[in-house]
């Protein structure tokens, strides 16, 4: 059974449809990535799941029961790590953790014990008594993550937890998150970093303009684009008009085009050698043709016609 089920969620702010009929599930021990550019609706979706916003339509089900039926029960099951830091900079890491632990219902003794465990696990024990304002961005992100884990949540909502930090700090947080997933925590992870979604998540949902356009494993999403290969044509394409080339639109789907490069997928399961011969016979001078595996950005381009980071 899923630990989180989202059913046809919708939310508008005036004329803006921020979330538009979104549905997905997250199972125990699964890391589900919600991938999309800034403004796609990721944070609004998480805010609804966490009970911070009320949906206009749809339902959030946590561990088999609607969130609205018992919000306090649902909140005890989940931990939330917002994109904006929710920590007190004048306090130390230990004081922040113990404070949030008490808010989560732990006794003072249990909050201290659990804070010790998390400070060690997050590699913060040596500076645990220093004010958070003296920490690096990556250390602050780790404290922010720790504050959501005091009550040992079975469901964790992570809203872009690595935004704005250096690569080494990002790797540290990602490895810690992997450890939580291996221990059985269900994790909903929003990001607009392709490499994070590709390497971290068991399943990925692609969100844009408030709508879930596709979801599946990385392999399943790649399969949307003619299996596991794309053709990349290089040459002077500044005056080219692929839509006018005889037979091109019937046999190939254009994924991306620049003045120097054309990325296409075959529309059927023909032999790659046959595809290459056709591409080399196009009415344009092609300097090079290569094969590549589709990326999540290629899938996003195919679905939306624009780059993921736009």
Q: What is the pLDDT of residue 249?
A: 83
CA distance 85 to 147: 10
CB 187 within 8 A of CB 26: yes
CA distance 298 to 307: 8
Q: What is the pLDDT of residue 287?
A: 85
CB 299 within 8 A of CB 221: yes
Rg of the Cα trace of the chain?
23
CA distance 257 to 153: 45
CB 17 within 8 A of CB 5: no
With 90 as the cut, is the pLDDT of residue 286 above it?
no
Token pair, residue 222, equals 């790649």
Q: What is the pLDDT of residue 310?
A: 46
Q: What is the pLDDT of residue 302?
A: 76
Helix axes 93-103, 137-147, angle to 10 degrees: 20
Query: Who has greater pLDDT, 109 or 164?
Result: 109
Query: Who has greater pLDDT, 273 or 24?
Result: 24
CA distance 111 to 291: 54
Q: What is the mean pLDDT of the chain?
A: 90
CB 233 within 8 A of CB 291: no
pLDDT tens profile 96-155: 999 999 998 999 999 999 999 999 999 999 999 999 999 999 999 999 999 999 999 999
Percent of the chain predicted with pLDDT > 90:
59
Percent of the chain predicted with pLDDT > 70:
97
Give the pLDDT mean for 44-63: 96
Highest mean pLDDT (candidates 33-42, 126-135, 161-170)? 126-135
pLDDT tens profile 231-272: 898 988 887 888 888 888 888 888 888 888 888 888 877 788
Sign of CA dihedral 60, 27, 205, 213: negative
Q: How many CB atoms lie within 10 A of CB 305?
A: 11
Q: What is the pLDDT of residue 7?
A: 97
CA distance 12 to 127: 43
Model confidence at 274, in pLDDT bands (50, 70, 90)? confident
**Lowest-confidence region among 9-13, 211-215, 253-257, 265-269:** 265-269
Q: What is the pLDDT of residue 221?
A: 87
Q: How many CB atoms lie within 10 A of CB 258?
A: 10
With 70 as the cut, is the pLDDT of residue 228 above it?
no
Give the pLDDT mean for 187-207: 91
CB 80 within 8 A of CB 157: yes
What does the DSSP 8-state code read for residue 149?
Answer: S
Which ranges constitute the DSSP H helices of the chain? Answer: 42-49, 71-77, 93-103, 108-121, 137-147, 167-182, 194-200, 218-223, 248-251, 272-280, 296-304
Query: Who has greater pLDDT, 196 or 269?
Result: 196
Kindly give, in sequence order, each residue whose CB lies less than 8 Å from that of residue 208, ignoring residues fewer than 6 positions away.
Answer: 36, 37, 40, 300, 303, 304
Q: How many CB atoms lie within 10 A of CB 303?
A: 16
Give the pLDDT mean for 284-295: 84
For 56, phi and psi rounded to 5 degrees?
-75, -30
For 180, phi and psi rounded to 5 degrees?
-60, -40
Token pair, residue 11, equals 């939310």
CB 59 within 8 A of CB 66: yes
In three-state secondary structure terms, 307 is coil
Model confidence at 176, in pLDDT bands (50, 70, 90)? very high
């Amino acid at each position: 059974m899923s630990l989180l089920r989202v059913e046809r969620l919708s939310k508008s702010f005036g004329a803006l449809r921020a979330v538009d009929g979104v549905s997905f599930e997250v199972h125990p021990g699964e890391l589900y990535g919600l991938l999309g550019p800034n403004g796609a609706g990721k944070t609004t979706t998480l805010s609804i799941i966490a009970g911070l916003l009320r949906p206009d339509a749809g339902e959030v089900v946590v561990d088999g029961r609607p969130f609205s039926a018992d919000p306090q029960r649902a909140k005890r099951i989940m931990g939330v790590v917002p994109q904006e830091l929710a920590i007190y900079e004048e306090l130390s890491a230990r004081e922040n953790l113990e404070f949030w632990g008490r808010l989560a219902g732990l006794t003072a003794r249990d909050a201290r014990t659990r804070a010790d465990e998390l400070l060690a696990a997050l590699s913060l024990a040596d500076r645990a008594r220093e004010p958070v304002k003296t920490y690096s961005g990556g250390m602050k992100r780790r404290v922010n993550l720790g504050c959501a884990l005091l009550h040992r949540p079975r469901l964790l909502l992570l809203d872009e937890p690595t935004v704005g930090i250096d690569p080494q700090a990002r790797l540290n947080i990602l490895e810690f998150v992997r450890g939580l997933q291996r221990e059985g925590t269900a994790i909903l992870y929003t990001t607009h970093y392709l490499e994070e979604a590709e390497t971290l998540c068991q399943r990925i949902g692609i969100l844009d303009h408030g709508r879930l356009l596709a979801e599946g494993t990385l392999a399943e999403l790649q399969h949307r684009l003619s299996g596991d290969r794309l053709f990349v044509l290089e040459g002077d394409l500044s005056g080219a008009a692929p839509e006018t080339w005889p037979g091109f639109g019937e046999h190939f789907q254009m994924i991306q085009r620049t003045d120097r490069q054309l990325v296409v997928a075959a529309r059927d399961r023909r032999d790659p050698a046959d595809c290459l011969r056709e591409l080399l016979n196009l009415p344009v001078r092609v300097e090079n043709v290569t094969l590549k595996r589709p990326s999540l950005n290629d899938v996003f381009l195919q679905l939306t016609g624009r780059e993921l980071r736009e």
